[in-house]
Amino acid sequence: LTMPLKRAVLPLLDRADPLVADVGGANTVLFAAEQRLGYNTDVPGMVRALAERGIAAGPGADISPTVILGGGATASAVLAALRSLGENDVAVAVRDPARAADLLAAADRMSMAVTLRPFDEDSLAGARLLISTVPAGVADPFAKALPDLSAPPRAVFDVVYSPWPTPLARAAQTAEAVLAGGFDLLLHQAAMQVELMTGRPVPLEEMRRGGEAVLRLRAE
């Protein structure tokens, strides 16, 4: 399911995985035993995507603290992913603090502390891990500012997967930061969806090659 359906579907579910309640959204609905069962694979998919690139978080980690760009539903999923990695205090840069109510409610449910920052380049100060949850193009001003930081983030995760690389991804590479992209998330959350639907392990590398081939065609 895509946003805003991830939230709109909640009243229609008969049962839901605890992550669904924590995040406030379900991206997968299974129909079994005449019930609608809700799941969120974005969160574990994000954890796997970060781990695959060697990105860790949490107290004592060399890429903590974390700054998140954007305060929408994807940012709520990021909070849950960071919580599972031991992080409990993050900064979130938002364009309109008045629209961050759902994010703050999710943080409260997960007992996480969130500090809202203005949506400008100054919000990058001190970030070791930068996670962008905003649509393509919105993070471009941050991409321009990133190389000029005296201490740029050590790792960057941009959830956009097409077009790729984004300006933020290029800036991260220039700064020699560890980079994870939206395709990493797309792959792992989709693999978990297939596992839920079929009850079988998935051919992850075949899925990876197929997805990369499609993205190359889009870029041509």
Q: At what angle do helices 182-198 and 42-52 cross, to 10 degrees?
A: 130
DSSP 135: P
- Given the DSSP bridges, would you call strands 28-32 and 35-39 parallel, antiparallel or unpaired? antiparallel
Within 10 angstroms of residue 31's Cβ, the number of other Cβ atoms is: 9
- Residues in contact with 163: Cβ distance below 8 Å, sequence separation at least 6, in sequence order: 136, 218, 219
Query: Is 144 considered catalytic here?
Result: no
Structure tokens at 90: 């993050």
Within 10 angstroms of residue 169's Cβ, the number of other Cβ atoms is: 22
Which one of the listed residues 1, 4, 6, 131 is annotated catalytic?
6
- Given the DSSP bridges, would you call strands 129-132 and 66-69 parallel, antiparallel or unpaired? parallel
What's the rounded Cα separation, in Å, for the pair 2 and 199? 23
Give bridge partners of residue 16 from the DSSP assignment.
Answer: 38
State the residue for tokens 């995040």.
23
Strands annotated E in the chain: 15-16, 28-32, 35-39, 66-69, 89-94, 113-118, 129-132, 155-158, 178-181
**Which residues are part of the catalytic machinery?**
6
